[in-house]
């Protein structure tokens, strides 16, 4: 027998006749407002201990959730348990609010309320929810470079609720950066980029801890800087750093979210060979040798469209969030290329190189090399 549903404006009549009114949403959802007169009990709790919460099976029960689906499902389970009168509120709390009916804000501590309000749109996503948001809050991400790529990536990772962002960069803010490096501001010209980044990100989301490391990543400190992080976002702009990060991430078993831009084109990928040897490629599988410096000038030499790093940096942030949550299909084994002038994406499949000196299944790590000499950078 289908579950009976009533409109929100009919609830008061049932309450007048002694029915019990229960909001079966999770606590973080209820923190944003509940239908007046409702009692908050999460659906899983109510179903697991219905006899505790509702000892008299003859008493009428009204159930409400966000949209009406969970309450219908819960009503069916209560009916199966022998409850005689169970009704769901059609349209749930969303319809209740749309109808202008009164709501109540439950008593909660300030931190819980901040969490619920700040991440409310994530919490409503089935693939994120409370469990996923807690994963983001527990995650530690290293962003290498607080420049064109690191700026948008860090902004959105902080906004998404990543608990700790470690940002490594030894440069200072220059006026020429402001065309694309959106973490910074004119008033902070001359300030170390990591300090400028910390100011901007803390203002956006004070829940995110910023670990500012004003150092250039080199072989001597790379493992210290990578210690304890879950994902590495490569926002560097030179080949020695890219190869160094790749080798360290393979050795330490950390996923590396790659991005690069030049002029009007950019590319992004995920190199996860450290955790999936022989299955996922590493950066050296794509570029066994660095191109000569004159064939791959940096942005200062070749120029770059200001919005281009924003596109690629956002792709990198998306991949980092997916890796933390364990959802979707990451770009591992795929190189995504973007042409801004044509507004066209192209995907290239990448395979692991069985002869790769770094990530081949039978290869042993032989130590970090002279990456500047390897890349012909002097």
| Collapsed DSSP state (helix, strand, coil) of residue 117 | helix
From first to last of its 378 residues, the chain has per-residue pLDDT tens of 789 999 999 999 999 999 999 999 988 888 778 999 999 999 999 999 999 999 999 999 999 999 999 999 999 999 999 999 999 999 999 999 999 999 988 876 778 888 988 998 998 888 998 889 999 999 999 999 999 999 999 999 999 999 999 999 999 999 999 999 999 999 999 999 999 999 999 999 999 999 999 999 999 999 999 999 999 999 998 899 999 999 999 999 999 999 999 999 999 999 999 999 999 999 999 999 887 766 566 666 678 999 999 999 999 999 999 999 999 999 999 999 999 999 999 999 999 999 999 999 988 898 998 898 888 765
Q: Is residue 130 part of a domain?
A: yes
Q: Are residues 87 and 138 in the same domain?
A: no
Q: Are residues 249 and 322 in the same domain?
A: yes
Q: Are residues 247 and 291 in the same domain?
A: yes
Q: Is residue 114 part of a domain?
A: no
Q: End of a domain among 47, 76, 108?
A: 108
What's the pLDDT at 52? 96
Q: Is residue 351 part of a domain?
A: yes
Q: Write out pLDDT tens, residues 219-262.
A: 999 999 999 999 999 999 889 999 999 999 999 999 999 999 99
Q: End of a domain among 108, 134, 154?
A: 108
Q: Give the dihedral of Cα atoms 136, 214, 271, 355; nearest 10 deg.
A: -150
Q: Are residues 258 and 358 in the same domain?
A: yes
Among 140, 172, 177, 174, which Cα is nearest to 157's?
Answer: 140
Q: Are residues 97 and 130 in the same domain?
A: no
Residue 5 · residue 88 · CB < 8 Å: yes
Residue 314 · residue 158 · CB < 8 Å: no
Phi, psi at 171, each rounded to 5°: -95, 170
What's the pLDDT at 303? 87
- The H or E element spanning position 13 is helix 11-16
What's the pLDDT at 239? 92
Q: Are residues 102 and 146 in the same domain?
A: no
Q: Is residue 118 part of a domain?
A: no
Q: Are residues 93 and 176 in the same domain?
A: no
Q: Is residue 161 part of a domain?
A: yes
Inter-helix orientation angle 308-325/129-138, to 10°: 110
Q: Which residue has the tokens 């995650």?
A: 139
Q: End of a domain among 108, 135, 155?
A: 108
Structural domain including 90 reads 4-108
Question: CA 249 to CA 242: how far, in whole Å?
Answer: 10
Q: Which letter, b or e, does each residue of 240-250 get, where b requires 16 or more Cβ atoms within 10 Å of its Cβ?
A: bbbbbbbbbbb
Q: Are residues 65 and 166 in the same domain?
A: no
- CATH of residue 91's domain is 3.40.250.10
Q: Which residue has the tokens 């831009």?
A: 261
Q: Is residue 115 part of a domain?
A: no
What's the pLDDT at 26? 87
Q: Are residues 68 and 168 in the same domain?
A: no
Domain count, the chain: 2
pTM of the entire predicted model: 0.82
Q: Which residues contact 318 (CB under 8 A, 6 or more apart)?
A: 156
Q: Are residues 31 and 68 in the same domain?
A: yes
Q: Is residue 204 part of a domain?
A: yes
- CATH of residue 236's domain is 3.40.50.720
Q: Is residue 88 part of a domain?
A: yes
Instruction: At 165, list the tokens.
Output: 């962002």
Q: Are residues 202 and 277 in the same domain?
A: yes
Q: Are residues 103 and 136 in the same domain?
A: no
């Amino acid at each position: 027998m289908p579950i009976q549903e009533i409109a929100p404006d009919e609830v008061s009549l049932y309450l007048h006749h002694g029915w019990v009114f229960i909001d079966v949403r999770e606590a973080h959802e209820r923190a944003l407002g509940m239908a007046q007169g409702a009692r908050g009990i999460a659906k899983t709790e109510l179903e697991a201990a219905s006899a505790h919460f509702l000892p008299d099976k003859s008493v009428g029960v009204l159930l409400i959730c966000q949209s009406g689906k969970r309450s219908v499902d819960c009503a069916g389970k209560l009916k199966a348990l022998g409850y005689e009168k169970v009704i769901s509120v059609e349209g749930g709390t969303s319809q209740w609010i749309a109808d202008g009916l009164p709501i109540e804000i439950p008593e909660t501590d300030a931190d819980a309320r901040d969490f619920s309000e700040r991440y409310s749109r994530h919490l409503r996503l089935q693939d994120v929810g409370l469990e996923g948001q807690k994963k983001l809050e527990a995650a530690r991400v290293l962003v290498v470079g607080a420049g064109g790529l690191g700026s948008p990536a860090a902004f959105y990772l902080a906004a998404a609720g990543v608990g700790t962002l470690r940002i490594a960069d030894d440069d200072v803010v220059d006026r020429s950066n402001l065309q694309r490096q959106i973490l910074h501001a004119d008033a902070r010209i001359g300030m170390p980029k990591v300090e400028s980044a910390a100011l901007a990100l803390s203002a956006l989301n004070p829940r995110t801890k910023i670990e500012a490391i004003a150092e250039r990543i080199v072989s001597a400190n790379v493992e210290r800087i990578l210690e304890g992080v879950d994902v590495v976002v490569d926002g560097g702009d030179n080949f020695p750093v890219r190869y160094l990060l790749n080798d360290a991430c393979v050795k330490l078993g950390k996923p590396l979210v790659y991005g690069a831009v030049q002029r009007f084109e950019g590319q992004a990928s995920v190199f996860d060979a450290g955790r999936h040897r022989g299955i996922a490629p590493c950066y050296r599988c794509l570029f066994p040798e660095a191109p000569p410096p004159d064939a791959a000038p940096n942005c200062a030499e070749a120029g770059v469209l200001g919005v281009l790093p924003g596109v690629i940096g956002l792709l990198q942030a998306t991949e980092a969030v997916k890796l933390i949550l364990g959802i979707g299909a990451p770009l591992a084994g795929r190189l995504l290329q973007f042409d801004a002038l044509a507004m066209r994406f192209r995907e290239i499949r990448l395979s692991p190189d069985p002869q790769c000196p770094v990530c081949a299944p039978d290869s042993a790590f032989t130590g970090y090399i002279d990456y500047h000499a390897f890349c012909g950078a002097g």
